[in-house]
Structure 1
Amino acid sequence: MKKMIFASAIAMASHPMFAETLTRETGAPVGDNQNSKTAGATGGTLLEDAHLLEKLARFDRERIPERVVHPRGVGAHGYFVSYDDFSDVTQASLLAKKNKKTEVFVRFSSVIHSKGSPETLRDPRGFAVKFYTDQGNWDLVGNNLPVFFIRDAMKFPDMVHSLKSDPVTNRQDPNRIFDFMAHHPESIHMWTHLFSNKGTPRTLRGMDGNGVHAYKFVNQDGMVQYVKFRWLSQQADKGLTAQEAATIQAKDFSHHTNDLYQAIQKKKFPSWELQALLMDPKNLDKFDFYPLDATKDWNCEMKLVTCKTLGKMTLNRVPENFFQYSEQSAFSPAVFVPGIEPSEDRLLQGRLFSYSDTQRYRLGVNYQYLPVNRAKTPIRTFNQDGVGATLVARDLSINYQPNSFDGSLKRDRGTLAENTEYRYSQSRLDGKTQQKMIAKTLNFRQAGELYRSYSDFDKKHLIMNFAGDLNQIRNKKVVEQMVAYAYAADIDYGTRLAKATKTKLSKVKKIAVQIQDDPKKTAASFNKIPVKQAAHR
């Protein structure tokens, strides 16, 4: 009796009256999705079974190239609401009116580790926001931490290679990482962030975000100000300790994704305020560091920096399909709108090309027309064709400029012409072309200020986490160099790290004296730098 009921249930479930008919990708109905077509009961499968061939061929091509950085990620939909009219500083329309609402898509990610890796691993977190404005898309592509390891895009591939797996063993190796980083004293600021518990965020909802680079705000009159962007979480929480991260990892590889989606589904919508840190270009040379250096942070306590809170972003919807939205979403700092431009930051200048180019490789040249990436505004361009072209061709035979149809006559209606109102801003240039390091490196001061802003608890975990990696390094000279960077930032920092790594302090001091920010000062003088608590958490 039970067998009969089970057989009947199967028959009913597969009957067309209970389900819509399965089709091929061509729209043709499928008659059998359980059995291949064969030459009799014992013969081979026939090549004419087109449904089978299509099914296998599509399965073979389901995976696309993994992002070279930021492969492990998760996204959500939401909106941004401006707090005021900021047209005095930028002509960006999303900030030109109080309470203006703009749709957004956000992707959070880890930088180095592959898709499917545990979300507990220590790593900077990507914080990328796509604004669908009425002037086109704007991508604010940043991280949870405010600075970066390096300051020049020339070093970006090498840095990533060192952080990625060994090409022989396919394992991430601190020996490789710090062999590279020991040649870059500017990295100590980033390590002082990353080896704190901020390097293992408890939740994505509780993370702050940073644009990292300086950009430019340009208003209607052409006035330019440098600007850094910062997202301030309204759900701020402390990061995980290494032990807490290990406990979670043993049970759940996707705790960040689960927490974010569950919060949204329970209508506990996470939100962040967007803060702008503004600086007049005339003051660029008045700092004792180079403000367009991605290894340096700005804060609201700096006399030459003005802060404005621009609005609030809220995430309120889980994507319908992970692949179509989170995986196919593509972000680049080269995607900006009138009123927002890139600065001369050397790392940013490289990212302007690389981030768009990697998406062309990963998703195809027409990636901008995928639903998650497509602007809400009309797209009018002479760019055409390419693999995966989906943009409906305009009814025009003129796909070039200049041409004889300038739009001044009725017959010219529908032709395209640039609008000089939206030309990029201008800036004066002096000097010669060169390939040199920036003059004001000041590699250690901000790392020391950051260390001194930490609580005793945070300092303890920073030292423990940092030493955990340094103690795996076979080349003791590399360890000595890294500890010396910490010592140059702050004596207590370096002394405690030397003890935790069993490194001779005399060797550390000798190196620190040679590399310190100001050769006229002794190593001891670094603790005399005033402590400034950064505006971000």
Structure 2
Amino acid sequence: MTDQIAAGPLTTETGAPVADNQQSQSAGPGGPVLLQDQHLIEKLARFNRERIPERVVHARGAGAYGTFRVTADVTRWTRARFLSEIGKETEVFLRFSTVAGNLGAADAVRDPRGFAVKFYTEDGNYDLVGNNTPVFFIRDAIKFPDFIHTQKRDPYTGSQEADNVWDFWGLSPESTHQVTWLFGDRGIPASYRHMDGFGSHTFQWSNEAGEVFWVKYHFKTDQGIRNLTQDEADALAGRDPDSHQRDLREAIERGEYPTWTVQVQIMPAAEAAAYRFNPFDLTKVWPHADYPPVTIGTLELNRNPRNVFAEVEQATFSPHHFVPGIGPSPDKMLQGRLFAYGDAHRHRVGINADQLPVNRPHAAGARTHGRDGLAYDGRHGGAKNYEPNSFGGPAQTGRPPWEPVQVAGATGDHPTPAHAEDDDFVQAGNLYRLMSEEERERLVANLAGFLAKVSREEIAERAIANFRRADEDYGKRLEAAVQALRG
């Protein structure tokens, strides 16, 4: 692969030589420009179409290629072939991102970070689309558009508004745990290299015998956790908006390849129903004392993209991209994402997005009967486009990639099933009590600085009440800090 265009005459997109790339054709030396100037028209029309719609969320990102290497035998839990033997390596592409900011936003902001990994396996691509936090603000995808609307620009002011953010969080008490994460020390990572990643959701693993296990993924940074204070982040965002993207690229250029230790928590399927928390609730973690993380591999990033637009902006990830031995869970947030991500990319990049170099399978062939549409390149030739057929075309395997899940009951708008110790505040309180006194002080200061900006007293009071329910001291200190800032 070369970074240079072949030497020779500059041409149009159809290969015709360009006589003059400095002056457009005109009717005489001082006359109007001519529509017959094919090079001018093509150049301007092409320029007008150089951008695709940016992602609604996770628009601001950076990425790199690397290698995942298996370090433990996990075949008793999953039949996924890329995990089948110690020492086996799989090419990966990892895209980091912020969530709320647009494409031109700064990197050093208080926001969750996307942590999306594409494994180019021999059974097709496996996308693990997570964050740098093990939990999220909501547990049901039906609330996601509303949540993101509160994080984005207000339709009247055109700015993010504290009223909108805190109104939603206060009315959605399940967000208390994630908000505590976000406004704590890990809310602004110093770089993409110095933060952990999580699959966040619960996923299904199944072995050759058809036994089912529920798993959660953890990517533990080997560079150590490093974070920025709010003041440090404000200064860095103004001085270098591209700080995290630049840090990742330059580290790889220096040969300082970032690595993560990959772990999973594993729950036998039979234990899920009686577990003290709902194991499919995205607002909760599985305590490590209950299900200790098992180290299964290492992930190293060692190659930068050659072209950011082609390989980072056009990269697409979907939680629905599974491989045999790995599948979804009844997590209602995950279930919504199975549709939403693929649909977003079909709209944003096009129906053939999965055949772009960064997205197409690298270690397997894509044998489908889907064709035509935007940017189709004729890769199927004249092959028949239906199945079954009598002409040697690809056919179904007859073996589902994951195991079925038992369901029962009437259809309807059901609330998430509650388990013995489920509520919206216990894990947020546990997280607060795990913090040192200095960490609590910074957490309260960060929360109060934003909460004090709301214009309606009842919004602030409702939010503080949720933190008080997580921990009495937590709420009391936050209330005092907000009152001090509001005078």
- TM-score, length-scaled by structure 1: 0.86
Amino acid at match of 1:488: R
> Quick one: which of 309, 329, 332 aligns to 2:295?
309
> Quick one: which of 425, 439, 454 aligns to 2:403?
425
Amino acid at match of 2:372: D
Distance 1:494 1:223, change over 3 A: same
Distance 1:90 1:391, change over 3 A: farther
The answer for the alignment partner of 2:470 in structure 1 is: 489
The answer for the alignment partner of 2:77 in structure 1 is: 89
Q: Residues 144-185 of structure 1: CA distance to partner in whole angstroms, max 9, x if unpaired?
A: 011000000110100101111101111000101111111111
CA displacement at 1:423 relative to structure 2: 4.4
Does structure 2 retain, via aligned residues, the 8 Å contact 1:76–1:319? yes
Does structure 1 retain, via aligned residues, the 8 Å contact 2:326–2:402? no
The answer for the alignment partner of 1:389 in structure 2 is: 376
Larger Rg belongs to: 1
Q: Residues 315-359 of structure 1: CA distance to partner in whole angstroms, max 9, x if unpaired?
A: 011110110001000011011111110101000000000000000
Q: Residues 269-321 of structure 1: CA distance to partner in whole angstroms, max 9, x if unpaired?
A: 0001111111112111222221100000123211xx25321111100111101
The answer for the alignment partner of 2:43 in structure 1 is: 55
Distance 1:433 1:39, change over 3 A: same
> Quick one: which of 387, 390, 413 aligns to 1:435?
413
| SS of 2:195 mapped into structure 1 | coil
Amino acid at match of 1:148: F
CA displacement at 1:19 relative to structure 2: 5.2
> Quick one: which of 277, 284, 289 aligns to 1:296?
284
| SS of 1:493 mapped into structure 2 | helix
The answer for the alignment partner of 2:3 in structure 1 is: none
Does structure 2 retain, via aligned residues, the 8 Å contact 1:79–1:104? yes
Q: Distance between the aligned counterparts of 2:104 and 2:118, measured in 1?
A: 24
| SS of 2:335 mapped into structure 1 | helix
The answer for the alignment partner of 2:234 in structure 1 is: 246
CA displacement at 1:378 relative to structure 2: 1.1
Does structure 2 retain, via aligned residues, the 8 Å contact 1:129–1:140? yes
CA displacement at 1:391 relative to structure 2: 5.3
Does structure 2 retain, via aligned residues, the 8 Å contact 1:151–1:293? yes
2:358 is equivalent to residue 380 of structure 1:
no
> Quick one: which of 424, 435, 456 aligns to 1:475?
456
Amino acid at match of 2:70: S
Q: Distance between the aligned counterparts of 2:174 and 2:32, measured in 1?
A: 65
The answer for the alignment partner of 2:267 in structure 1 is: 279
| SS of 1:502 mapped into structure 2 | helix
| SS of 2:312 mapped into structure 1 | helix
Q: Residues 182-216 of structure 1: CA distance to partner in whole angstroms, max 9, x if unpaired?
A: 11111000000000121111111011001110000
- TM-score, length-scaled by structure 2: 0.95
The answer for the alignment partner of 1:531 in structure 2 is: none
2:51 is equivalent to residue 66 of structure 1:
no
The answer for the alignment partner of 2:151 in structure 1 is: 163
Does structure 1 retain, via aligned residues, the 8 Å contact 2:323–2:401? no
Does structure 2 retain, via aligned residues, the 8 Å contact 1:138–1:336? yes
CA displacement at 1:46 relative to structure 2: 1.5
Greater shift in the superposed pair: 30-39 or 102-111 = 30-39
Q: Distance between the aligned counterparts of 1:250 and 1:61, measured in 2?
A: 30
Higher RCO (C-alpha under 8 Å, 6+ residues apart): 2
> Quick one: which of 331, 335, 347 aligns to 1:345?
331
C-alpha RMSD over aligned residues: 1.5
Q: Distance between the aligned counterparts of 1:237 and 1:284, measured in 2?
A: 31
Q: Residues 118-167 of structure 1: CA distance to partner in whole angstroms, max 9, x if unpaired?
A: 11111100000111011100011000011000000110100101111101
Amino acid at match of 2:416: I
| SS of 1:469 mapped into structure 2 | helix
Q: Please list every run of 5 or more consecutive structure 1 residues that lacks an aligned counterpart in the other structure.
A: 1-17, 406-411, 504-537
Equivalent runs, 1:127-146 vs 2, <5 Å: 127-146=115-134
Amino acid at match of 1:134: E
Does structure 2 retain, via aligned residues, the 8 Å contact 1:367–1:373? yes
Distance 1:74 1:391, change over 3 A: farther
Does structure 2 retain, via aligned residues, the 8 Å contact 1:369–1:390? no
Q: Distance between the aligned counterparts of 1:378 and 1:218, measured in 2?
A: 24
Q: Distance between the aligned counterparts of 1:258 and 1:78, measured in 2?
A: 17
Q: Residues 360-407 of structure 1: CA distance to partner in whole angstroms, max 9, x if unpaired?
A: 01000110001100002111111111111135115433x22344x3xx
Q: Distance between the aligned counterparts of 1:346 and 1:482, measured in 2?
A: 25
> Quick one: which of 429, 433, 442 aligns to 1:448?
429
CA displacement at 1:251 relative to structure 2: 1.1
| SS of 1:285 mapped into structure 2 | coil
| SS of 1:368 mapped into structure 2 | helix
Amino acid at match of 1:365: I
Greater shift in the superposed pair: 472-481 or 130-139 = 472-481
| SS of 1:181 mapped into structure 2 | helix
Q: Distance between the aligned counterparts of 1:48 and 1:470, measured in 2?
A: 60
> Quick one: which of 1, 25, 46 aligns to 2:34?
46
Does structure 1 retain, via aligned residues, the 8 Å contact 2:108–2:188? yes
Q: Distance between the aligned counterparts of 1:246 and 1:25, measured in 2?
A: 44
Identity %: 44
The answer for the alignment partner of 1:21 in structure 2 is: 9
Aligned residues: 475
Does structure 1 retain, via aligned residues, the 8 Å contact 2:123–2:323? yes
Q: Distance between the aligned counterparts of 1:422 and 1:470, measured in 2?
A: 49
Q: Distance between the aligned counterparts of 1:439 and 1:426, measured in 2?
A: 19
Does structure 2 retain, via aligned residues, the 8 Å contact 1:209–1:231? yes
2:179 is equivalent to residue 191 of structure 1:
yes
The answer for the alignment partner of 1:268 in structure 2 is: 256
The answer for the alignment partner of 1:14 in structure 2 is: none
Does structure 1 retain, via aligned residues, the 8 Å contact 2:205–2:402? no
Q: Distance between the aligned counterparts of 1:26 and 1:299, measured in 2?
A: 60
Distance 1:95 1:65, change over 3 A: same
Q: Please list every run of 5 or more consecutive structure 2 residues that lacks an aligned counterpart in the other structure.
A: 1-5
Q: Residues 91-138 of structure 1: CA distance to partner in whole angstroms, max 9, x if unpaired?
A: 111100111111111110000011111111111000001110111000
Does structure 2 retain, via aligned residues, the 8 Å contact 1:279–1:306? no
